[in-house]
Structure 1
């Protein structure tokens, strides 16, 4: 993978998770229920925690390598987002929300590709 491709993936991952995280962090559960039935299985605080994890992951796939401050955090953030999508897929599987699993798979795959593209930063 070229450096340009990895950066494009990082930006896409950061935007997707950043927007999703902000929505979960800022909107009340009742508002989220209109579009995301899965939130019925979680408390408002749990939903906000998921949003915070997504926002931190979005920041983590960009800022550490961009600023060259602890760049090892970039692949770790990507790995964390990949695992987050695995957990999300399991929730949707349990709830029999099969179309959502495809979205989780795509987002998890993009985050995994960022991890693969930045694995060299783990060998410090």
Structure 2
């Protein structure tokens, strides 16, 4: 179970790191990349930078506390916050009527909930 939780944490951290591109790519260019990226036009550049910064912190929070053995309880706390982030993404997609593009967000939401559940209860870090 521990290995599964590490894989999920690594996968979520990678997804969050890739997603931080919204901090550096102009909104208009991102929106032109496809229907699934048009949501960026609903947010200001400052809001996109804030979301990207939170995703960057979340990616670090899923891995570094456990690897460095400094407050490893932050891993499930961060996973809970990531689940809330993806719940917001699902809500935003539903409001925009983007039901076809909601599946990845639901998968990431489920992975974050699994990680939080696993690290809070099933396989917590020994400390």
**TM-score, normalised to structure 2's length?**
0.89
- Tell me how far apart the structure 1 counterparts of residues 4 and 13 of structure 2 sit (CA, whole Å): 14
- RMSD, aligned CA: 1.5
Q: Distance in 2 between matches of 1:99 and 1:55?
A: 26
User: Counterpart in 2 of 1:103?
Assistant: 104
Count of equivalent residues: 121
Map Cα deviations across residues 73-102 of structure 1 (whole Å, 9 max, x no partner): 111111111000000111111110112221
Which residue in 2 is equivalent to 1:33?
31
Give the TM-score of the pair, scaled to structure 1.
Answer: 0.91
> 2 CA distance for matches of 1:84 and 1:96?
19
Match of 2:54 in 1: 53
Deviations 1:48-90 (A, max 9, x none): 1111111111110100011111111111111111000000111
Matched position secondary structure for 1:118: helix
Runs of 4+ in 1 over 3 A off after TM superposition: none
The equivalences for 1:13-92 within 5 A come to 13-21=12-20, 23-35=21-33, 36-92=37-93
> Is the CA contact (8 Å cut-off) linking 2:23 and 2:48 kept in structure 1?
yes
User: For 2:22 and 2:66, how far apart are their aligned partners in 1?
Assistant: 26
Q: Is the 8 A contact 2:28 2:41 kept in 1?
A: no
Using the alignment, how far apart are the partners of 1:47 and 1:77 within structure 2?
A: 20
Deviation per residue, 1:24-69 (Å, 9 max, x gap): 1111112111131111110001011111111111110100011111
CA shift, 1:116, in A, is: 1.2
Distance, in Å, in 2 between the alignment partners of 1:24 and 1:79 is: 22
Q: What are structure 2's unaligned runs of at least 5 residues?
A: none
